[in-house]
Amino acid sequence: MDNKEFPYKGLVLNGFLALLILLCIFGCALGCFILAKSAAYITTGVILLMVFILGCSGLVKLEPNEACVLVFFGKYKGTFAQTGFYWVSFLLSKKKVSLRARNLNPEPIKVNDKAGNPVMIGMVLVWKLQDTYKALFEIDSQSLAAPVAQGVGVARSLAKAFENFVRVQSDAALRQVAGCYAYDNADDASELTLRSNAEEINEQLERTLNERLSMAGMHIVEARINYLAYAPEIAAVMLRRQQADAIIAAREKIVDGAVSMVKMALDKLKSEGVVNLDEERKAAMVSNLLVVLCGDEPAQPVVNSGA
């Protein structure tokens, strides 16, 4: 989508100079009312007072990372983003928006992963407004801000509307990304999973969010999954499965170590000529050593004193 935002190129005055001029106009209007020698004085005073009131509505104060969108009777005239105190035409309607980075940390949601298992997943993201034209005119942000604006400034109500839009889109993006990957996968270590490949999943989530929010002129600075767990209804079953996987892995390691130790013992006995064992006694020794090394409980030795 093309960038339709452009800087305001109309008349701009220094705010302090414009304020001085407006105060002079107010003084003249006040003088006309005080003298009031004829109807002309009163008429001039009324006109000057109206000019003062309308002129004051053209004063604009912008802090760093703030912008003011200017509209002339429904036509977009540009975005004014110069930091400081200025005056622009009072005929332009002004919508002030913030360009600062903001955090969003919604509550974790329940989604089904690629394998169909329900998981609880949450994220935190940093976003900011990048295109004021799209934010105000490509989405219905002003209507969304209207119910919030009662007793709240327009800028704050617009910020709340933007945040609600990001919240809805982030929820949809998180469901989309989480549904493409399994929580974990013990069978195929090369497959990306939510639990083991956080960096790759975060990059995919950030790309998906930027694709969804580009239409609204918003940019995701960073998006990260900050909560991941099985849903309560299957958490106990999955915990037992993980424990079983851990026990099997531990057993495999114990057996590998025991076999290497038995082989080392037999080779050492043979190389140093300690004792000569036939195949039957070797098999009995291997069996006994494996039982001792792989058993869960300490071995209880039995000493054969002979007959």
Note whether 87 and 58 are within 8 A (CB): yes
**Side-chain half-sphere of 194: how many Cα atoms within 13 Å?**
30
What predicted TM-score, i.e. pTM, was given to this entire model? Answer: 0.70
- Whether the predicted pLDDT of 39 surpasses 60: yes
| Burial of 301 per CB tally in 10 Å (0-12, 13-18, 19+) | exposed
H helix or E strand, kind and range, residue 218: strand 218-230
> Between these two residues, 263 and 215, which has the higher pLDDT value?
215
3-class SS letters over 72-83: ECCEEEEEECCC
Compute the Cα dihedral for 225, 226, 231, 237 and give only its sign. positive
Mean pLDDT of 166-174: 92
Confidence of residue 293 (pLDDT cuts 50, 70, 90): low
Mean pLDDT of 122-148: 81
- Whether the predicted pLDDT of 158 surpasses 50: yes
Phi, psi angles (nearest 5°) of residue 129: -80, 130
Which of 38-47, 80-89, 296-305 is predicted least confidently? 296-305
| Residue 295 confidence (pLDDT) | 65
Q: Rounded distance, CA 142 to CA 148, Å? A: 10
| Residue 148 confidence (pLDDT) | 46
Closest C-alpha to 159, from 97, 115, 113, 70: 97
| Residue 304 confidence (pLDDT) | 56
